[in-house]
Chain A
Amino acid sequence: MSPWLLGPVQAAVALMLAPGLVGAIRWMKARLQSRQGSPPWQPYLELRKLFAKEVVVSSNASWLFRAAPFIVFGSTVTVTLLVPLLTVPLPLGGAGDLLVVVYLLLLGTFFLALAGLDPGSPFGGMGASREMTVAALAEPTVALAIFALAWGAGSTNLGQIASRTLITPSEALAPGHVLAFAAIFLVTLAETGRLPVDNPSTHLELTMIHEAMVLEYSGRYLALIEWAAALKLLVFFSLLGNLFAPWGVASAITPGALLWAVLALALKLLALGGVIALVETHIAKLRLFRVPELLSASFILALLAVTASFLVR
């Protein structure tokens, strides 16, 4: 299979799995809390419903409001081409490295915040300012933590980092790796709007971040944004799963290896989703003013990861 075909296949697999991941987390969380819960495939039904619905746009909104969902969705889908989901070396790895990934994700966040401000509703502005606070603190941590891995692999290409760990498995337990994993895990919670930072299942105006920004959206725009948010969660999970424990990722392109890679990816996503469900059942939301403390703790972890991998080398 040529790389030009494999890349889109990878993106398509990610797009198909993403709503299921969100649904699975919701379902596991419900079961842990002794609730019946909606079935894991519920998000697919929600997306279908939203795509069929009429779009209502405020008369104060500009073109930005209409363009933002496509930019958010587009940038997130592009990211799925550049992270090691199924195969290493990456089919389109020459197109961008970890810096491109980090800033493409930030681009989506930026436009979502702009779109939150655009219609001029008070909640949109509140959500946007909170989202920017969190993003400004989380972004350097992601970059720094992945740099700790890049240092060991001698490359900032995410595919090469993963294949390096495949070649020397003892690397996976190096202190730099363990610390970077912890740092990215904390940032994943913040970036994807999970519990100690944002509550994904509430519409309580005073506490929400992501929900506040997308409050004005409806119909297919909302569907695109929700799908992109699910995809972002999947991207972070696959970074956690495949950069730190890349076993199962196909290094030769055969149908069997690819099938096994999809299966391994799904298993890793489910395992991480289970951890998230457990964490979210266990803890309450942090006060907004304590979120920077959580994020600076994860920044320090990333800093230690870089110094540790710098030294052991």
Chain B
Amino acid sequence: MSPEIVSQLSVGGSTLVLLGGLMMLWRRGVAAHIGAFTFQSVALAATMAMVGWFAGDWQLWAVAVLLLLVKGIGIPLLLKRMGRRFGSERELEPYVNTATSLLIGGLLVLLAYIVTAPLVSVSRLPTRTGMPLAIGLVFVSLFIIISRKKALTQVLGFLMLENGIALLAVLGTHGIPIIVEIGVFLDVALGFIVMQVFVYQIHETFESIDVEQLNRLRE
């Protein structure tokens, strides 16, 4: 593959991954959110496989397969079960309304372009063109975490944040050693389990997973 095509493909792949994050801002139902996350993870795995093919690195392939299994299939299944248990509560009143959220998301992506300009100019890899989008996804997921009220949505925001960091690692360095990658996966799995327990406890205490209710936890 010629470097130009790799460059175009990595922008295309990163754009799809970022679109997963923006879909999360746009849609409201829990099922749609989980769908957006699944889509994003599959797109991320495909991008990784593409970079792995270009760089001729079997480790990236392994990571891509692992990612597809864990984040493309495993975590969405668990999330769906969680969604069923807590009833598919809709994100009816986020702190910021949908149209404004989308505009803020767009602005965050532009900001990412500006702040990564020096980073991109330093790199010599053909995949560098996707890096601003990866940083953009990191910003957008942080925004999801702070602007939504449901604990489930916030967990998804956290998972997307991790996707953004993984994408950045792949595009910026052509992958980190597989042992580090596995460590990160375990970290995420652990974090996810802890959050699941939290969500469960919140639901037990308040009959809802709206984190606004936590304000009631005074003396």
B-contacting residues of A (Cβ < 8 Å)? 170, 173-175, 178-179, 290, 292-293, 296-297, 299-300, 303-304, 307-308, 311-312
Contact = CB atoms under 8 A, between A and B. Distances in A.
Contacts of A299: 102-103, 106
Contacts of A174: 8, 12
A175 B98 CA distance: 25
A311 B11 contact: yes
Interface string B89-114: 00000000011001101100110010
Nearest to A306: B110
A175 B99 contact: no
Interface in B36-86: none
22 contacts: A170-B5, A173-B8, A178-B15, A292-B99, A293-B99, A296-B99, A297-B26, A297-B102, A299-B103, A300-B102, A300-B103, A303-B106, A303-B110, A304-B15, A304-B106, A304-B109, A307-B113, A307-B132, A308-B11, A311-B129, A312-B7, A312-B11
Interface in B174-196: none
Contacts of B22: 297, 300
B179 to A, nearest CB: 33
B59 to A, nearest CB: 26
Nearest to A305: B15
A264 B60 CA distance: 43
A174 B13 CA distance: 11
Interface string B1-26: 00001011001100100100010001
Contact of B113 (A290, A292, A311): A311
A304 B18 CA distance: 10
Nearest to B22: A300
A244 to B, nearest CB: 15
B200 to A, nearest CB: 31
Contacts of A312: 7-8, 11, 129
Interface-central residue, A290, A311, A312, by most chain B CB under 10 Å = A311
Nearest to B102: A296
Contacts of B113: 307, 311
Contacts of B109: 303-304, 307
Nearest to A311: B129
B102 A293 contact: yes
B137 to A, nearest CB: 12
A175 B106 contact: no
Contacts of B129: 311-312
Contacts of A297: 22, 26, 102
